[in-house]
Structure 1
Amino acid sequence: MLTGAAAARAIAAGTALPLAGGPVAFGGGEIVRRDGAGQGVREAASLTEIERHSADLLAGFLRPRAQWAGLDLGMPRIMGIVNVTPDSFSDGGDYADPAAAIARGVALAAAGADILDIGGESTRPGAAPVTVEEELNRVIPVIRALAERGHCVSVDTRHAAVMAAAVEAGARIINDVTALTGDPAAEAVAARSGAAIILMHMQGEPRTMQADPVYADATLDLIDYFAARIARLEALGVDRARVSLDPGIGFGKKDPHNLLILNELAAFHGFGCPLTLGVSRKSFIGRLSRGEAPKERLGGSVAIAALALDRGVQIVRVHDVAATFQARAMVLALAGAGA
């Protein structure tokens, strides 16, 4: 990946192309094919070879992203997390009271969050589900209050009834960890809502997803999964420009799976959809470091957010907005330096 003056020179010389219309450029890549066992065989490829292999795929990498949820994605956006739950892995109980959650959302917006993601059910590994009624009681007052203040609000839910009520209360985004497969009515509700949609990949379900997740090739398996989900939504009349893809780091994935996906994030741009990435405070950061507790994983969280921005990711979902805002400012400054 190239940024800044190097990207500008390479694009002018015809040796690189801009990624998703943003400040990052690429001068080549890899063509990945499955072998007989379904595993990926990766081969370095020039731009000419990639275009020869699939001009349509290359077009997805190049196409500037349209406005999404009313936001210009020419600049990467920060999604601030507001968990209105007693049991989320990082901040469970901190904002379980609606007044505290509203105040938290206002504070995150002031710190630089472009989107406020409101969740009323923990989906951490091993989490137990809550009733739809309880989830509604937790999130709807918070969503309504923040939307009335003019904030761009997302609802983090896998339940169709919560999606519908949240959009009615002012949410512009539906963020579903099950990619609209966890509730039989979710696809239709999301399609009719007109809201932007985040499809996240998760193998299994929260109570069991980390038991023993298995992939033939994590990146290729996710690409196949997203291709099927996008095709399904398009059949329901959803323009893919409404859809953002989240690879679901830590959701039914072991550390080698997480690392492969993070290293190959740019591969998901081929769909022509904006990308969302949530890695903030996740347990694999502690496992790869010194076993730090969730609130002590700021350094790793910001490092991966910066990596994501360098890979052209349009939306980073985080707890620590102010630190991520500062990191984004530095990434963008470096990307524009000397251009």
Structure 2
Amino acid sequence: MAATPARSATALETWEWGRRTYVMGIINVTPDSFSGDGLAEQLDAVVEKARAMVEAGADLIDVGGESTRPGHTPVPAEEELRRVIPAIQALAQAIPVPISIDTSKAIVAEAALEAGASIINDVRGLQGDPDMAPLAARAGVPVIIMHDRKIESADRLIPDIVRELARRIEHALSAGIAWERIVIDPGFGFGKTPDLNLLLLRRLRELTVLGRPILVGTSRKSMIGQVLGTPPEDRLEGTAATVALAIANGADIVRVHDVPQIVRVVRMTDAVVRGRW
């Protein structure tokens, strides 16, 4: 794999963690997104949607070209590249906020960084591709490390997540990724039943023991559908509730589909929780 030149610090490294909550807007360039918002082959729509998210208050935009919903069909790297690279190139010219690439493949991450992304968001937590951690270290970019292991019982939920994320953080550090460039994601919906997801939200603050900013992605997830009995496109209120509770329990970044509405939820919750508006 070719060397990727080191990049200057992105916003994530200069953000003041704990002072306010940051909002990550989701751009899916897939034909099979679980939430029905995929924009495959629609470059103009991608740019328009991202611009609207930034105008509404998004602090960064996350671009993904492979669905990770339960039962998804894996996408070859060539197809993932075909989907995400034109989108990232266009967004890098169109929006002033950082762009993250949502992938578990190092070859896709490398091309995305060259195209204008500056953050790697890996749902496999640097475990799916042995080249991912060395790439991130070499590129000097932040990484979002997610937990995706199956949890068997409620009493093991927090201990297992903390242990596994600590192991993944150590893996990142050993590869040369700087401590201040690591963000953790407990992986709502990945290897966890709806009941365990709800318990994780209640106990989220216990993950602050790891000492890194926490990203929470509950937007439109099945845990909301299980409670409200609504399809993905009708889970705004449920998402808003989980976002507010996540912030109250220690979240630093929330990853969402409905940016305008959730930005207002974040600002109101920050006013209460952090005394900032």
**TM-score normalized with structure 2 length:** 0.90
Q: How far 1:93 moved relative to its partner? A: 3.7
Q: Give the secondary-structure state (helix, strand or coil) at the position aligned to 2:12.
A: coil
Confirm whether residue 113 of structure 1 aligns to residue 61 of structure 2.
no
CA separation of 1:274 and 1:67: change in aligned 2, threshold 3 A: farther
Kindly indicate whether residue 235 of structure 2 is the aligned counterpart of residue 297 of structure 1: yes
**Paired residue type of 1:104:** K
Identify the residue that residue 42 of structure 1 maps to in structure 2: none
Distance 1:101 1:69 in 2: 26
Secondary structure at 1:122's aligned position in 2? coil
Which one of 246, 251, 256 corresponds to residue 313 of structure 1? 251
Task: Choose from 106, 114, 123 the match for 1:160.
Answer: 106
Looking at CA atoms only, which structure, 1 or 2, has the larger radius of gyration? 1
Q: Deviations over 1:127-152 (max 9, x none)?
A: 01111111111111111222223221
Does the CA-based 8 Å contact 2:133-2:177 persist in structure 1? no
Contact 1:244 1:274 in 2 (8 A): yes
Gaps of 5+ in 1: 1-65, 205-212
Output the CA distance in 2 between the equivalents of 1:236 and 1:75.
30
- 1:254 matched to which residue of 2? 193
Q: 2:134 aligned to 171, 185, 188, which one?
A: 188
Correspondences of 1:24-35 after superposition (within 5 Å): none
What TM-score do the two structures reach when normalised by structure 1?
A: 0.74
- Residue 7 of structure 2 corresponds to which residue in structure 1? none
Q: CA deviation at 1:336?
A: 5.7
Q: Comparing 295-304 with 186-195, which one deviates more in the overlay?
A: 186-195
Q: Are 2:171 and 1:229 aligned?
A: no
Q: Does 1:274 align with 2:220?
A: no
Instruction: Indicate which of 159, 165, 168 corresponds to 1:220.
Output: 159
Let me know the Cα RMSD of the aligned residues: 2.0
Choose between structure 1 and 2: higher helix proportion: 2
Residue 133 of structure 1 pairs with residue 78 of structure 2: yes
User: SS in structure 2 opposite 1:217?
Assistant: helix
Matched residues, number:
265
CA drift at 1:166: 1.0
Corresponding residue number in structure 1 for 2:15: 71
Question: Percent of aligned positions with the same letter in both sequences?
Answer: 43
How far has the Cα of 1:106 moved from its partner? 1.2
Q: Decide which of 204, 209, 215 is 1:265's aligned counterpart.
A: 204
- Aligned partners of 1:191, 1:179: CA distance in 2, in Å? 14
Do 2:29 and 2:65's aligned partners in 1 also have CA atoms closer than 8 Å?
A: yes
**Structure 2 residues without counterparts, runs of 5 or longer:** 1-9
Question: For residue 319 of structure 1, what is the amino acid of its counterpart?
Answer: H
Give the aligned partner of residue 117 of structure 2.
Answer: 171
Partner residue in 2 for 1:88: 33
Task: Give 3-state SS (helix, strand or coil) of 2:144's partner.
Answer: strand
Q: Per the alignment, do residues 105 and 70 of structure 1 end up closer, same or farther by CA in structure 2, a change over 3 Å counting? A: farther
Deviations, residues 167-189 of structure 1 (Å, cap 9, x unaligned): 11121210010001111211211
- CA shift for structure 1 position 238: 1.6
